[in-house]
A and B are shown apart, each in its own frame.
Chain A
Amino acid sequence: MIRRRRIIATVLVSTGLLALGAYARTAIQNKGSDTLVNVAQAWAEAYAKKAPEVAIAVSGGGSGTGIAAMINGTVDIANSSRRMKKSEIDLATEHGQDPVEHIVGYDALAVFLHPDNPASTLSLKQLSSIYARGQEFGNWSDLGVEVPGCKDNTIIVVSRQNNSGTYAYFQEAVLGKGGKYRQGTLDMHGSKDVVDLVEKTPCAIGYSGLAYATDHVKMACISSEDGKACVSPSVATASNRTYPIARPLFMYTNGAPKGDVKDYLDWILSDEGQCIILNKGYAPAHDVTCE
């Protein structure tokens, strides 16, 4: 009898301790960009070892998802691969939020081609002629190339769904202010889908974060102007800003970060945090030396 009581008491006490422990852990909700999700996950895992009392819940869904969650006040940190639009900031203010921007790294947007495609250098102007409305290059021969295995030489233009951060950045950087995408692009739902499709389609051209590159696709060397020397996408060229389509990666907090969120962001921007993003194939926000 006494023994049984002792067991019950032990169970009760340990449950209480566990509950107390769970209570003491603070949770940071981190959501958004699919481009950043792998890095965010790696940060969260490394930080869990450093500060076990803070639990960080990371989920993806796209920059729009993170920003929407920030506007609706359901996350502590929103990841985004594009800047918040003015309309979104206004909407957030209306909902009583105050999004504050932090640049946590840079990402080179690679332009992918099928390995059989003889084209290897593209200028921003040519890219714009392929992607923009009105000045369409519909055919690979417009660029002076003949793509084997591609009937009619038609360019199959692969893009992203219209609320992806990659889509928005590419529009801004390649099509210019007020430039619009042409009609009839294949809008893939995710960076990986773009690479998969280009891999299987000789006629295709697509764009995505450098980290999604595989051995089965070719990355075009991009020149900022016709005739200028081109730069290949890499972590190094994104870090020194020579690659023309490298974009900042953002984390948004509601108001200036405080407490655990501030500690976490400070750690992300520390050399230790920045080495993690570097290892994942992105350029760090500032120069770091990692072993």
Chain B
Amino acid sequence: MSPDVSTTELSSGRTGVTADDFDRRNLDWYVDKAVEVLVFICGISAIIFIIGIFTFITKEGYAFILQMDWVEVFTTQYWFPSDEGDPEFGILALIAGTASVTGLAMAVAIPFSLGGAIFVAEFASGKTREVLKVLVELLAAIPSVVWGFIGLSIMNPLIIKTFDVPVGLNVLNAGIILGLMAAPIMTSIAEDALKAVPDRYREAAEAMGATRWQIIVRVVLPAAKNGLLGAVLLGVGRGFGETMAVLMATGHSVNIPGSLFDSVRALTATIAAELGETAVGSEHYQALFAIGIFLFLITFIINLSADLIVRGVREG
């Protein structure tokens, strides 16, 4: 038997089986194709939803954006959209409210999450580490309304007592609550960033006689800085978008804060509090959607840059 013959026989045999096999392969082919399409739909559904949501809020809010007075909206602090004679649509105070609360939240969350991440990634080992990781994730699972309730019923009297101020629903209260809410997710991402620093860096530093603290401050943190920045930006995005907790803890007062003890109101909370009671299609309704578009763009930009920075870490 020459190799040529065997090849012919084999291939002819295969052809014979293929004819029989055709249907089965056909079914497989359909299943295969169906699964492929299904997975594809799942894969792009996020994009579909994002585009769908953006189209929806734009559709509801564009009429306001087209005719609004940009100077009034972004530079005045009077938000009285339901006034019959002379409605005012200044969102400066709302932006200041959101920014101040988010800023304070980051001041609270960054030390907490960075310290937590360093401990989990560099110091803790074995069981401690596993337990800590689970606990941090558990913290992230607390619903925001519960946080808001803590702000309202625990932090409020505590702040009044401790600082001797008239109201405890203010920037300080919401900032602390929001900081604690953002800390878990920032810890997880920061920890991933620290873990991504190759061990050879640490070993090399250790070989040169560096202490553990020196390794962390001089070697690990600089190497992981993009990932850490990404973690902070995601926390900022979380802060901007959070609604329920800030609605309950800020005091809901349109006001440019002059101190930590001033009550403020956030952009998101304004939408949450007012949207349900406005007539669909009214100017007030459209203005709320315009705020929605503004928020969407800001969080989109923040999350996108966070994502790009974190991605840069992985590739670099």
**What is the interface of chain A, defined by CB distance below 8 A to chain B?**
61-65, 67-68, 71-72, 85-88, 91, 150-152, 154, 156, 161-164, 167-168, 178, 180-181, 183-189, 197, 200-204
Whether the Cβ atoms of B86 and A185 lie closer than 8 Å is no
For residue B77, which residues in chain A have a CB less than 8 angstroms away from its CB?
183
How distant is the Cα of A61 from the Cα of B277 in the complex, in angstroms? Answer: 7
Whether the Cβ atoms of B281 and A64 lie closer than 8 Å is no
For residue B282, which residues in chain A have a CB less than 8 angstroms away from its CB?
87-88, 91
How distant is the Cα of A186 from the Cα of B263 in the complex, in angstroms? Answer: 7
Q: How many A-B residue pairs have CB under 8 A?
A: 100
Whether the Cβ atoms of A189 and B273 lie closer than 8 Å is yes
B228 at interface, CB cutoff 8 A: no
How distant is the Cα of A175 from the Cα of B157 in the complex, in angstroms? Answer: 32
In the assembled complex, how far is the CB of residue A137 from the closest CB belonging to chain B, in whole angstroms? 15
CB-CB nearest in chain B for A168: B82
Per a CB cutoff under 8 Å, which of B83, B263, B279 touches A64? B279
In the assembled complex, how far is the CB of residue B64 from the closest CB belonging to chain A, in whole angstroms? 15
Whether the Cβ atoms of B254 and A187 lie closer than 8 Å is yes
Q: How many residues of B are counted as interface, with CB atoms below 8 angstroms from the partner's CB atoms?
A: 38
How distant is the Cα of A167 from the Cα of B288 in the complex, in angstroms? Answer: 19
In the assembled complex, how far is the CB of residue A83 from the closest CB belonging to chain B, in whole angstroms? 10
For residue B164, which residues in chain A have a CB less than 8 angstroms away from its CB?
151
Whether the Cβ atoms of A184 and B253 lie closer than 8 Å is yes
Whether the Cβ atoms of A156 and B80 lie closer than 8 Å is no
Nearest 3 interchain pairs by C-beta: A64-B277, A184-B255, A203-B166
In the assembled complex, how far is the CB of residue B196 from the closest CB belonging to chain A, in whole angstroms? 44
In the assembled complex, how far is the CB of residue A89 from the closest CB belonging to chain B, in whole angstroms? 11
Whether the Cβ atoms of A65 and B255 lie closer than 8 Å is no
In the assembled complex, how far is the CB of residue A247 from the closest CB belonging to chain B, in whole angstroms? 16
B4 at interface, CB cutoff 8 A: no
| Interface membership of chain B positions 163-182, coded 1 if the CB is closer than 8 angstroms to chain A and 0 otherwise | 01111010000000000000
B274 at interface, CB cutoff 8 A: yes
CB-CB nearest in chain A for B93: A183
B103 at interface, CB cutoff 8 A: no
Whether the Cβ atoms of B169 and A186 lie closer than 8 Å is yes
**What is the interface of chain B, defined by CB distance below 8 A to chain A?**
77-86, 93, 156-157, 160, 164-167, 169, 247, 251-255, 262-263, 265, 273-274, 276-282, 284
CB-CB nearest in chain B for A94: B281
Q: A186-B251, A186-B253, A203-B166 are in contact. Are A65 and B277 (CB under 8 A)?
A: yes
Whether the Cβ atoms of B166 and A183 lie closer than 8 Å is no
How distant is the Cα of A67 from the Cα of B282 in the complex, in angstroms? Answer: 12
Whether the Cβ atoms of B166 and A164 lie closer than 8 Å is no
Q: A151-B164, A161-B273, A186-B169 are in contact. Are A67 and B279 (CB under 8 A)?
A: yes
In the assembled complex, how far is the CB of residue B118 from the closest CB belonging to chain A, in whole angstroms? 40
Chain A interface mostly helix, strand, loop or mixed? mixed
In the assembled complex, how far is the CB of residue B81 from the closest CB belonging to chain A, in whole angstroms? 7
How distant is the Cα of A81 from the Cα of B172 in the complex, in angstroms? Answer: 35
Whether the Cβ atoms of B86 and A178 lie closer than 8 Å is yes
For residue A186, which residues in chain B have a CB less than 8 angstroms away from its CB?
167, 169, 251-253, 263
For residue B278, which residues in chain A have a CB less than 8 angstroms away from its CB?
64, 68, 163
Of the A-B pairs whose beta carbons lie under 8 Å apart in the complex, a sample of 8, sorted by A's number, is A61-B276, A64-B82, A178-B86, A180-B83, A181-B80, A183-B93, A183-B255, A189-B252
For residue B157, which residues in chain A have a CB less than 8 angstroms away from its CB?
200
Per a CB cutoff under 8 Å, which of B81, B252, B255, B277 touches A62? B277
For residue A162, which residues in chain B have a CB less than 8 angstroms away from its CB?
79-82, 274
How distant is the Cα of A188 from the Cα of B250 in the complex, in angstroms? Answer: 11
Chain B CB within 10 Å — which of A87, A181, A184 has the most? A184
Chain A CB within 10 Å — which of B82, B93, B160, B255 has the most? B82
Q: A187-B253, A187-B273, A201-B166 are in contact. Are A180 and B80 (CB under 8 A)?
A: yes
In the assembled complex, how far is the CB of residue B206 from the closest CB belonging to chain A, in whole angstroms? 55
For residue B86, which residues in chain A have a CB less than 8 angstroms away from its CB?
178, 180
Q: A163-B274, A200-B157, A201-B167 are in contact. Are A184 and B281 (CB under 8 A)?
A: no
Told that A62-B276, A151-B165, A201-B160 touch, could you supply 11 new A-B pairs with CB distance under 8 A? Answer: A62-B277, A68-B279, A85-B84, A178-B86, A186-B253, A187-B254, A187-B265, A187-B273, A189-B252, A200-B160, A203-B167
CB-CB nearest in chain B for A172: B84
In the assembled complex, how far is the CB of residue A7 from the closest CB belonging to chain B, in whole angstroms? 44
